[in-house]
């Protein structure tokens, strides 16, 4: 008799994640190979990794339990950060640094999350963090949408598939800038099944953690073909 092997997108049950959502501490405004996601307000584009590949309008599956808040302090091209999970209180603010000439460098509040960029035969771990006002609003909006989803009672599908977009612009004394937006297009369960679609019968190896399956790591630095859910 063949047994069905279910592959988990993120190694935690939906019920545990919902418990943490109910204890959210963010107020509105394990080491892996990770590619860092960056948004440019000047161009309205998202780039990924050291090669700064343009991934605007691409999709990421967000690991709901990965949301965090904290503080970021830039000084002499070094970024000192302190982070806590979203279900814990915001940590104390990092102490400011005052230079000999009296210039003060202050810590700014931080938001972030991680997730997966999916390809046909593998996944890529993605991390995003921001201390910009617009970035924090976008993160808060995304987390609040997940909380609303959980409150509605369908706790199985609380992992959003988001599209990386820019949404309008705003003007400051320094010029016109683009606003980032995380558009939720679908909801997934912990096994990668899409809400409203048939449950998968065959395990999808593209959802397996690369850390546990090194044979799925890319053999070169050529960008892989992304999977369309």
Q: For residue 156, is it within any domain?
A: yes
Q: Position of tokens 């302090």?
A: 73
Per-residue pLDDT tens digits of the chain, which is 229 residues long: 555 555 666 666 676 777 777 777 666 664 458 899 999 999 999 999 988 999 999 999 999 999 999 999 999 989 899 999 999 999 999 999 999 999 999 999 999 999 999 887 788 999 999 999 899 999 999 999 999 999 988 788 999 999 999 987 777 777 788 899 999 999 999 888 999 988 875 444 344 344 444 444 444 444 555 655 5
Q: What Å distances lie between residue 209 and 33, 48, 188, CA to CA?
A: 11, 19, 16
Q: What is the pLDDT of residues 44-65, one digit of tens each?
A: 999 999 889 999 999 999 999 9
Q: For residue 73, is it within any domain?
A: no
Domain that holds residue 143: 14-68+113-216
Task: Give pLDDT, residue 27.
Answer: 66
Instruction: Identify which of 109, 152, 112, 114 has the alpha carbon closest to the alpha carbon of residue 131.
Output: 109
Split into its structural domains, the chain has a count of 1
Contacts of 100 (CB under 8 A, 6+ apart): none
Q: What Å distances lie between residue 46 and 38, 51, 115, 150, CA to CA?
A: 6, 12, 15, 28
Q: For residue 43, is it within any domain?
A: yes
Task: Give pLDDT, residue 121.
Answer: 79
Q: For residue 183, is it within any domain?
A: yes
Q: For residue 120, is it within any domain?
A: yes
Q: For residue 75, is it within any domain?
A: no
Q: For residue 36, is it within any domain?
A: yes
45 vs 10: CA distance, rounded Å: 27
CB 8 within 8 A of CB 191: yes
209 vs 194: CA distance, rounded Å: 19
pTM of the predicted structure, to 2 decimals: 0.74
Contacts of 197 (CB under 8 A, 6+ apart): none
Q: For residue 173, is it within any domain?
A: yes
Three-class DSSP category at 153? coil
Task: Give pLDDT, residue 30.
Answer: 46
Task: Give pLDDT, residue 111.
Answer: 96
Task: Give pLDDT, residue 227.
Answer: 56
């Amino acid at each position: 008799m063949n047994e069905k092997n279910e592959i988990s997108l993120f190694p935690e049950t939906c019920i545990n994640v919902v418990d943490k959502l109910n204890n959210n501490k963010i107020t509105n405004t394990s080491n892996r190979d990770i590619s860092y996601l960056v948004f440019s307000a000047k161009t309205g584009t998202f780039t990924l990794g050291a090669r700064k590949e343009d991934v605007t309008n691409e999709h990421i599956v967000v690991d709901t339990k990965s949301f965090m808040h904290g503080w970021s302090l830039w000084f002499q091209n070094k970024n000192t950060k302190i982070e806590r999970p979203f279900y814990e209180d915001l940590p104390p603010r990092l102490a400011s640094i005052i230079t000999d000439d009296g210039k003060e460098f202050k810590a700014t509040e931080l938001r972030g999350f991680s997730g997966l960029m999916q390809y046909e035969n593998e996944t890529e771990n993605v991390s995003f963090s921001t201390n910009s006002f617009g970035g924090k609003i976008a993160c808060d909006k995304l987390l609040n949408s997940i909380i609303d989803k959980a409150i509605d009672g369908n706790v199985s599908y609380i992992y959003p598939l988001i599209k990386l977009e820019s949404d309008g612009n705003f003007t400051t004394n320094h010029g016109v800038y683009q606003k980032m937006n995380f558009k939720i297009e679908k909801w997934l369960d912990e096994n990668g099944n899409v809400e409203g679609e048939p449950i998968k019968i065959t395990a999808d190896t593209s959802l397996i953690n690369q850390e546990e399956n090194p044979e799925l790591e890319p053999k070169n630095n050529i960008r892989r073909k992304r999977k369309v859910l």
